[in-house]
């Protein structure tokens, strides 16, 4: 069951966090969703979600390029961590990139397992860098 929930959550979260840059104005895309994130660089951003990576930062020409996602499931009644998984993507371990990495989180997302009716809260963190670099 844990693997099925993780897969479902990963797919849902990837759909939420994956964002494209091919469109000239991704905010106006019919499939666009705007996701607020808060980062450890002291900034909060609105990220446009369409399809693909990187994510476009609303009100900017910049992007956020994820290198690692961490998905943590928490029991909403007890606060107990049910499980946590980290998935690396891209080339986040390249030399010189580590000093530019930030960690951002989305608001918690509630998920109900359709098979068991069990409710979980997912906390999603992303380690990423901003482009242009140094933003």
DSSP class of residue 77? T
The string of pLDDT tens digits covering residues 39-72 is 999 999 999 978 767 889 999 999 998 889 999 9
- Rounded CA-CA distance 85/67 in Å is 14
Listed residue (88, 39, 90) closest to 68, CA to CA: 88
pTM above 0.85, yes or no: no
Output Rg (C-alpha) for the chain, integer angstroms: 15
- The pair of structure tokens assigned to 61 is 């020409």
Residue 30 has pLDDT above 50, yes or no: yes
- Rounded CA-CA distance 111/134 in Å is 35
Half-sphere exposure of 59 (CA within 13 A, CB side): 5
What is the full DSSP assignment across 18-54? -----SSSGGGSTT-EEEEEEETTS-EEEEEESSSSS
User: Domains of the chain: which residue ranges?
Assistant: 2-131
What does the pLDDT read at residue 17? 47
């Amino acid at each position: 069951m844990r693997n099925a929930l993780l897969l479902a959550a990963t797919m849902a979260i990837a759909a939420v966090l994956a964002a494209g840059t091919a469109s000239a104005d991704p905010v106006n895309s019919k499939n666009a969703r705007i996701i607020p994130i808060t980062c450890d660089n002291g900034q909060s951003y609105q990220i446009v979600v369409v399809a693909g990576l990187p994510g476009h930062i609303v009100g900017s020409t910049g992007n956020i390029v994820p290198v690692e996602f961490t998905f943590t499931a928490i029991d909403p009644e007890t606060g107990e961590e049910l499980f946590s998984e980290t998935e690396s993507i891209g080339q986040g371990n390249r030399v010189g990139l580590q000093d530019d990495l930030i960690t951002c989180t989305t608001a918690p997302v509630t998920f109900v397992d359709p098979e068991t009716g069990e409710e979980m809260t997912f906390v999603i963190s992303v380690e990423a860098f901003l482009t242009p670099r140094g933003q």
